Each structure stands twice: as structure tokens, then as C-alpha cells.
Chains A and B, each alone.
Chain A
Amino acid sequence: MTENADNIRADVIAALTKLLPRPVALHGDTHIVQDLGLDSLAIMNFMLEIEDRFDISIPLDRAADIATIDDLVQAVASLVKQEKA
């Protein structure tokens, strides 16, 4: 399984889309918390799902730095790389 930023982003967007009550155009610079009106529990479940999808654990201090979809994509990419190293 090769994970480049583009297909990580596609997976992240697909997972977020499922959570939203109505379709919203999602981009790399969309703010996950601010722009989408999701509550903290929904965000936590979303993160757990992403962790499962990529078989990683995102430490809480890293999660705190994630604001946009691209922040998350980057965090996932670096953790996936670490996992394989």
C-alpha cells in the first residue's frame, strides 16, 4: 500500500463527507473544526476512523496542531512513513 498525500487527502475527505449532514465542498485548506461545525465527539470519532484506516495512532499533542485537512494529511503521511521505517 503506497500512501501519497493525494490519496490520503481523498480518504480524509471521503471520511469527513460521511459525517456531514449536507454536502460541503472540502479542500486542503478547509478548517476541520471551525468550518464544518462538527462537535468534539464527532471530531474524535473521525480521528479514530482515520487512525484505523491508516493503521496509525495520532498522539494528542500532534492532534492539537491539526487545524486544516492538509494539516491532517501531513500528520498522517509522516506517521505512515514512521510506521514503515
Chain B
Amino acid sequence: MSILAKFSQLQHTYDALSAVKPNPFAVTFDEIISSTEGVIDGRQTILLGTNNYLGLTMDPECIEQSVQALRQQGTGTTGSRVANGSYASHRALEQDLANFFGREHCMVFSTGYQANLGMLSTLVGRGDHLILDADSHASIYDGARLGHAEVIRFRHSDPEDLYKRLRRLKDVPGSKMIVVEGIYSMLGDLAPLREIAAVKREMGAYLMVDEAHSMGVLGERGRGLAEAAGVEADVDFIVGTFSKSLGSVGGFCVADIEGFDILRVACRPYMFTASLPPSIIASTRQALRRLESDKPLRQRLSSNAERLYQGLRQLGLNVGPHASPIVSVALEDQELAVRFWNALLQSGLYLNLALPPATPSNRPLLRASVSAAHSRRQIDRAVELFGEVAVALGVLPATTGSPVAMVA
């Protein structure tokens, strides 16, 4: 029997999807025209599934900074920060992020995934407890598995369930750390962070918030949900990524805790991997400056998000509970979702197809992520295409699919 035999069920599912052209999990962009447009199979396509919330991947100043760093410092660092040394810009980015969040300390990781892997596996250890939201991202679950703490889950965004679980642990020794996300990546829903912070205060635990999808999106200064909910003082650790609103790649953790720097020599996913290349650091620093200084960018994002969310909702499609830059439409079954996704792509609209078990509530999702760089026309075109395809596939009755209803 082949070593790959254990994947036969998965292979079966994958083969069924591969029969669809193009395969939803193997989309290739032949060309990137702008942060909101690309070419797929020779067709000019609106990109509505890239998490490029501020559209900064094509920001001329970010590119310029990146190019300069590339010419001056080369293509890569060829080693880890602990074994092979940091570049001054690694330190400078950490200082920038600490300043931005108003925190003492920051550690930068080579991806957002690694930031969670590193912090979750290191902050808590044997005899400690991790209490995770049940709908947490894979990187949170994987970080939990890599470490040695006992891991328990509470019902998604349910502060009462969290309270019950902490109560059960009340007299158990060891540190306890709650982990939630600012915006959940599948439905775009927000954690009830104020209530969760209250539970944390009452029961005594550390609180980590993953602001991957909410940094640069929520809060007066764009710091994320903790800022928007007014509970930054209750959040002990913030993790995040550069690969969404900052338009590059990498991850980070900021905190005020005393002694933070010991983590640099305890955290394996930080120590045993190559550090970010200087060109990435340079564009990330510039993107952060832009995020800090250009508030209208965030306002455009939220107005685009609202426009898409309300547009799809008015069509009668089944969207998530909150209007956020992630707007997902739930469909009944996989076959329908794949056809819907494919019809949108053929019409020049790219977004993500998310299938169970990666989705909550076991339903397939068409997941859109909005950018500040989208024009109103692109958003309206997306809503129009959703309406047309929904009617063509019988998801909506013929009368509600008209673009007229959308403009009203």
C-alpha cells in the first residue's frame, strides 16, 4: 500500500473538483494588472479574493522602497536572525510596529502562520492551558499542537461558554491563555471582544488577539479590533500579518510583558527559519507608514465593504452577520458552490471558494475580500454578476436579480 493511501478520501474530493475547469484550488493569474485586476486564462478579471485590503501591493512608494533595499542589501538574508544576525531594518520594523500599537515589544516572523505557530507553542507550555475559539484559523490550531499546553475550545464567539471553561479551570495551576481573532477569515464576523475581555479580567487569564484580518481595517488608528472595542489594555498579545493590509509577507507579535525578548531564543519557529529579505521589510515599513498617515484609505475600504455587503444582502443572498471587508455568501451544497464560483470566474470575477471542513456551519462559501482600491464600479459589477449567476442557477428567483434593485 502506498504511503499516500491515507489520502484516498481527500484525493477523491480533489479529483471531483479537478473535473471543473479551472480547478478552484489551482487558479493561476497570468498577469497582475493592478491590485484589483488580473488576467486569468486570457480574460481580464476583477480580483475580489486577495485579502489586499488597502491595495498596497502596487503602491509606488512601497515598490520604490523595496527596490532600493533590494539593490542595496541583496535578495535575501540567507539565514535566521538568531544564528546569522539581524539586519538593522528588522529591528527598525519591530520598533515601528511597537510604536504603531503603542507597545513595548515586537517580534517579527517570516510569515503570519509562523507568528501563531511560534507564539502559541512557546508562550504556554506543559501544565498551562490554551483556550481557543472553536473556529480558530489553522495556524492557531497548529501552534497549539506544536506546544505542550492542554488545549480546550470554547464555542465560537461565545463569552459565556468561555467563562464556563475558565471556571472549570479555576483551581488548576498553570497559566491560561485565551486566543481569539479580530475578524474571522471565513465569514468576516467580529469577535465580541469587549465581553471576552470582561471574562478574562474576572477569571484571570492572558488574552491574545489575532488581528490578521483587522489590522489596517478596524479602529481609529487602524490597530484592529482591540482598538475599535476599546479594550487594548486587556489584550496581552497581539499577533498579525504583513500579507493582508500591508501587502507583503511576514508576521509579528507585539506585547508589553516584561522579559519578552527571552522568546527570541525560546521560540523555535522564530529561531530556525530564514528571516525576511530586506526588500520585504522595506515595503512593509512603507506600507505601515501609509496605513498610519492615510486614514481615508480605511474609510474607502469600509465604504466598499458596506457597499458589497449591502448589495449582496439586498439581492437576497445569504451573507455573514457583519459587514466587514470579508463578505461571504453561503450556499447549500458543494456542487452548486463550484458551479456558482466557476460562472463568476467565467464572467470575469475572481473570489475564493471555501469548502467544509474549512468553513463554519459546514456549508460551502463564496468568499470575497474587498479592497480600498476597488472602484465603486467594480463593486457594483461584482454585485451585478452575483445577481445574474444566482438567477441563472436558481439560487434566487428571476425578479430579484435585476441590477436595478441593487442601485436603489
Contact = CB atoms under 8 A, between A and B. Distances in A.
B361 A41 contact: yes
Given A40-B357, A60-B151, 18 more contacts: A41-B360, A41-B361, A42-B362, A44-B134, A44-B153, A48-B134, A48-B153, A48-B155, A55-B164, A55-B168, A56-B168, A57-B152, A57-B168, A59-B150, A59-B151, A59-B152, A60-B152, A83-B168
A6 interface: no
Interface size class of B (residues with CB under 8 A): 10 to 19
Interface of B: 134, 144-145, 150-153, 155, 161, 164-165, 168-169, 356-357, 360-362
Task: Give the most central of B153, B155, B165, B360: most A CB within 10 Å.
Answer: B153
Interface of A is mostly: helix
A56 B161 CA distance: 11
B337 to A, nearest CB: 16
Contacts of A48: 134, 153, 155, 161
Nearest to A62: B150
B150 to A, nearest CB: 4
B152 A58 contact: yes
Contacts of B165: 57
Contact of B357 (A39, A52, A55): A39
Nearest to A41: B362
Contacts of B357: 39-41
A60 B153 contact: yes
A59 B148 CA distance: 12
A76 B357 CA distance: 26
Interface in A37-80: 39-42, 44, 48, 52, 55-61
Contacts of A83: 168
